Amino acid sequence: MEINDLKIPKSDITLSKKVKIFDTTLRDGEQAPGIALTTDEKIQIAQKLDNLGINTIEYGFPAVSEGERKSAKLINDLGLNANICGLARVLKNDIDALLDCDLSYMHTFIGTSPLHRDFKLKMSKEEIVDKASSAIEYAKDHGITVEFSAEDSTRTELDYLIDVYKAVEDAGADLINVPDTVGVLVPTTSRKLISNLKNELSLPISVHFHNDFGLAVANSLVAIESGAEQAHVTVNGIGERGGNASLEELVVTLKVAYGLDLDIDTTQLYNLSDFVSRVTGIKMPPNKPIVGENAFAHESGIHVHGVLENAATYEPIAPELVGHTRKIALGKHTGANALKAKLAEYDIKMDEEQFCTVYDQVKGLGDKGKSITDADLKAIAITVLGKA
Ligand code: KIV
Ligand code: ZN
């Protein structure tokens, strides 16, 4: 089935074809408590992200450890199509560590909000601007691409934020990134902030939104509607606290609801999500959109009946679009149509009376709070047929 057949109301906002996806699973995703990826795991994830068609991969933070620097070199040597980016504070040592790894793309940042200025950095507004500008000039003297983030930008006074971003534009930055570091935006404030910045700045704007209110993807979409040309994401939305905007949710929504094809092979999304979940140990809740185990599972008789006639009745997108599979689950909500389809799937034939016995047993187990696996169903069917 074609996406156009799904009868999804399409956003009437035409988005720029230039929107780029910057994946930070290996940096901000790895900052989630309990995650520590080996070099080999980082390489495998980077390879998969590149196969998908991601534009920029933030692989890690060269200054933090020898292992991070080793990963940078190995990932860089893979010769991927994606830009390989490293994080650096606006410090010469951090930038030198990144340059030593031969990385040609730097994401650098400094906090700009009153909380960061007064409690963390203990620096004046002017000192922050000076530090950011000199770091960018130093990096640009070494010929690398520089993306600059004003950390906690969404809790920074707008006038000052604009001053900071204008100063880094003058210092030679290539891209302005707007981090919602503690995820406090809502769609209306996302639109207002990005529209204001678009009016004031000349460089392309990127967004990096955290998910503390569960709105990171929605806020990123609105930012893109308002002119942002790049979004930072992580696979499965992993990251500090509530995580970051989820790669799979953002890309699929852009494709299906906005009709924006970013040259990303969405059919690899489930496989990538599953791999990242296994190596990070962060399991996806079954109801996680796009990649959760229940994202394309149906149990209630009414839904299964509809899906068996035409899957689009209860599926907004086809599972094949993201490399997932449809599942018909059995339980107390199961209807006769679903059970017949399941038995047919396993080529189990029985008469009407036997079918009614199996049906009653499935319902009975469901009423006891059990979900019935395919193996359970086969065992019930064999017993019933054996008794005939
Ligand atoms: O969320 C954030 O502010 C960050 C910075 C490093 C940009 O991840
Ligand atoms: Zn972040």
pLDDT digits (tens, 9 = 90+) for 197-214: 999 999 999 999 999 999
Q: How far is the CA of 108 from the centre of ligand 1 (A)?
A: 9
Mutate to test the pocket of ligand 1, among 115, 210, 241 (most ligand atoms within 8 A of CB): 210
**249-280 burial code (b ≥16 CB/10 A, e <16):** bbbbbbbbbbebebebebebbbbbbbbbbebb
ipTM over 0.95: yes
Q: Determine how many CB atoms are found less than 10 A away from the CB of residue 354.
A: 17
Q: List Cα–Cα distances, 85 to 50, 186, 221, 258, in angstroms.
A: 13, 28, 23, 28
Mutate to test the pocket of ligand 1, among 64, 116, 149 (most ligand atoms within 8 A of CB): 149
Q: Looking at ligand 1, which residue's alpha carbon is closest to its atom 8?
A: 28
CA–CA separation, 201 vs 194, rounded Å? 10
Ligand 1 in reach of 30 Cβ (< 6 A): no
Mutate to test the pocket of ligand 1, among 24, 30, 107, 109 (most ligand atoms within 8 A of CB): 109
| Nearest-ligand number for the alpha carbon of 149 | 1
Question: Model pTM?
Answer: 0.94
Q: What is the pLDDT of residue 111?
A: 98
Q: Looking at ligand 1, which residue's alpha carbon is closest to its atom 5?
A: 151
**Tens of pLDDT, residues 131-174:** 999 999 999 999 999 999 999 999 999 999 999 999 999 999 99
